[in-house]
A and B are shown apart, each in its own frame.
Chain A
Amino acid sequence: MIEVKKLVKTYIDGDKVTPVLKEVDFKAEAGEFIAIMGRSGAGKSTFLYQLSLLDEPTSGEIIIDDIDTHDMTADEKTQFRLTELGYVFQDYALLPDLTAKENVALPLLMQGKSKEEAYSQAKTALEKAGLGHRIDFLPSQMSGGEQQRVSISRAVAHKPKILFADEPTANLDNYSSGLVMDMFKELHKEGQTIIMVTHEPEYGRLAERLIRFDDGKIVGEELIDHGYRKN
């Protein structure tokens, strides 16, 4: 599904060279729920940015579904993100001018779906996230937890192959975090591949594989069997 070989990311600012990822090798299978943990500055978010094609690695290979993403142009990567990937940002990253329904429908519209079809799918996704009563609300009219659930709905409405989440509960209270993680569990049960960065051990342990990052490298891995995964 996804294979990473000798992935290196180095930031260069004048004379200052900061290696963030140091020849990371990684593999994930379809349907896996992987949590990435580690202290701040360990490189876990940077790793996620490279996997989700939001950033350009310094060297190494990222192969998704047998496609070497290194050969892709910027426009091809954007198109790939649109059709194959979903991303949940720490700060929700909703578009302030669009309602919840419009935010969720946007990638679907971009994929060529009609407005009616896209809106209908968006409505279904939002209802599933428990936000049926908020579909015409702007982000500014919703709580953080609601916004994050809209963000997840947007990330999965087009049924991506991989869902990336970067500390999705970092800005939420316990109750909202619980609702968000319930969504992830539900998605995982349906077979969605999820790669999530988190700081919180209790949410990390909801995944079936826990990867520990330190100093730009994977330093540990743990398999957790919850017995709820669909195969």
Chain B
Amino acid sequence: MPQFIRIGFYLALRQIRRASKWTTGLIIFVMILTFLNLVVVSGLLVGLIQGSINAHKEQYFGDITISKLDKKDYIENSPFILNVLDNFKDVDVYTPRYGQGGVVEANYQSAAKESEIDKASAPFSGIDPIKEDEVTHLSKRIIEGEYLVPSDYDKILIGSMLIKKYMPIESPGFTQLDNVGVGSKVRIKIGTTTREVIVKGILKSKVDTVSTQVFFVDKELRSLIGRQDYGLSTISIKLKPGSDPATVRDALLRAGVGQYAKVQTFEDGEPKFLKDIQDTFALLGNMISSIGLVVASITIFIVIFINAITRRKFIGILKGIGISGRTIEVSYLFQSIFYALCGSGIGLVILYFVLIPYVNTHPIDFPFSDGIIVATPYGTFLRVALLVFATMIAGYIPARMIVRRNTLDAILGR
């Protein structure tokens, strides 16, 4: 090992070991905050969207969704597909859904004119309440009233976004229902078919697909839309833990499901705009983190500069007794690395053992998603490397500035 590195390390080790505990603690604290700023800010911004994506997957899409082919109205030969799923070892549970667009009307009894009737267009879903709950835990979204049971007749669950009382939205072309709550009678219109039903429960979710829908028991909707061949609209599948969605998708296609329906993993079906938003937020996070990195570098520069300035005399003495400038610079470099690694190390522990588990169990309540912190090991490693590198530069420059000064001036404090 070159002499200047060996002695630089020797000096750094002793300076750190015998430095004021408070000063060392403060520098490491700054490094921890910097690290967290680097990782958590971008992690939160990405997590904001990721939370929304995860919720969409958990509350509606599942690991795999089977849906109708583009030119078809529904999934043909659905019983065959359900039979395939029943015999597929990787499939944990699935929920078949019938779907149809329609209109919900309220206050029609008291309205004098057709134009005074509250109307809201919505997608209608016919579900098996038990299977749906196993896959998407839909019952957990009930904020008022009760969840459906298979024997319910003429009862619906209605998404909160369709009701003004729960989520008033002023948007051109978007209509909501007024004075509708649990127990209210509303009128359902699908094409020319009309039926009066009772609101059994109100659903609220940050997943718009859920909170803008009207849910029926499957046989009810099937009878309303007259679909006697059991032609489903979608089937959302939850896989057994450890199963790879892409592998299962391919296996389903090989089993002939692809003849009648589209089979997509969540990643396949994820809208491109969500990916774009995620990338944009990641970029934004990186920009903010970069500012944090610059601030941290300046902080370390100042800390090392003050440290070097106050130790200028000792730097002079070191040079006076024959210790090379390069050795002294390396000793400050090692100190910077120590501070950066300590800060990052403690930051990693806080991030992976405190912050992420906590936020996962207590997501941040954003209006459109439950925010989590996304910190991939690769991204985090990259940020640690960046922080160490920036700190090394920030520590090296002031040390070099002081070391290059006249030896005698340094010793005499001139």
Contact = CB atoms under 8 A, between A and B. Distances in A.
Contacts of B10: 109
B317 interface: yes
B407 interface: yes
B408 A78 contact: no
B151 interface: no
Interface string A56-95: 1000000000000000001100111111010101000111
Contacts of A155: 321
Interface stretch (A96-104, A126-134, A179-187, A217-225): A96-104
Contact of B318 (A56, A74, A85, A95): A95
Q: Among the interface residues B319, B322, B408, which one has the most CB atoms of the partner chain A within 10 A?
A: B322
Contacts of A81: 320-322
Contacts of A79: 322, 324
Nearest to A105: B10
Given A78-B325, A102-B14, A112 B3 contact: yes
A154 B408 contact: no
A93 B325 contact: no
B252 interface: no
A78 B323 contact: yes
A193 B57 CA distance: 85
A138 interface: yes
Contacts of A95: 314, 317-318
Contact of B322 (A82, A98, A102, A138): A82
B7 interface: yes
A107 B322 contact: yes
A202 B224 CA distance: 120
Contacts of A94: 317
Contacts of B406: 55-56
Contacts, number: 71
A82 B323 CA distance: 7
B327 interface: yes
Nearest to A49: B408
A138 B17 CA distance: 13
Interface in B182-204: none
A211 B320 CA distance: 25
A154 B198 CA distance: 95
B411 interface: yes
A110 interface: yes
A75 B406 CA distance: 12
A135 interface: no
A54 interface: yes
Interface in A15-29: none
B325 A75 contact: yes
A87 B406 CA distance: 17
B319 to A, nearest CB: 6
Nearest to B319: A78
A96 B17 CA distance: 12
Contacts of A107: 321-323
A200 B47 CA distance: 75
A155 B321 CA distance: 8
Contact of B408 (A55, A80, A96, A98): A55
A106 B327 CA distance: 12
B18 interface: yes
B280 interface: no
Contact of A54 (B15, B18, B411): B411
B410 to A, nearest CB: 10
Q: Among the interface residues B3, B14, B327, which one has the most CB atoms of the partner chain A within 10 A?
A: B14
A82 B328 CA distance: 14
A94 B325 CA distance: 18
B322 A78 contact: yes
B112 interface: no
B105 to A, nearest CB: 83
A43 to B, nearest CB: 14
A54 B321 contact: no
A110 B320 contact: no
Contact of B321 (A49, A55, A82, A138): A82
A15 B221 CA distance: 100
A87 B292 CA distance: 46
Contacts of B6: 109
A98 B11 CA distance: 8
A165 to B, nearest CB: 13
A56 B407 CA distance: 10
Nearest to B409: A55
B19 interface: yes
A110 B411 contact: no
Given A55-B408, A110-B7, A112-B3, A93 B320 contact: yes
B321 A96 contact: no
A153 B399 CA distance: 28
Contacts of B7: 106, 109-110
B152 to A, nearest CB: 78
A97 B15 contact: yes
A93 B14 contact: no
A25 to B, nearest CB: 22
A16 to B, nearest CB: 15
Given A96-B18, A97-B17, 5 more contacts: A97-B18, A109-B7, A110-B322, A110-B323, A138-B18
13 contacts: A54-B408, A74-B325, A75-B325, A79-B322, A79-B324, A81-B321, A93-B320, A95-B317, A95-B318, A97-B17, A97-B19, A107-B321, A110-B7
Closest CB pairs A-B (n = 7) = A82-B322, A81-B322, A97-B18, A55-B408, A93-B317, A54-B408, A97-B14
Interface of A: 49, 54-56, 74-75, 78-83, 85, 87, 89, 93-98, 102, 106-107, 109-110, 112, 138, 154-155
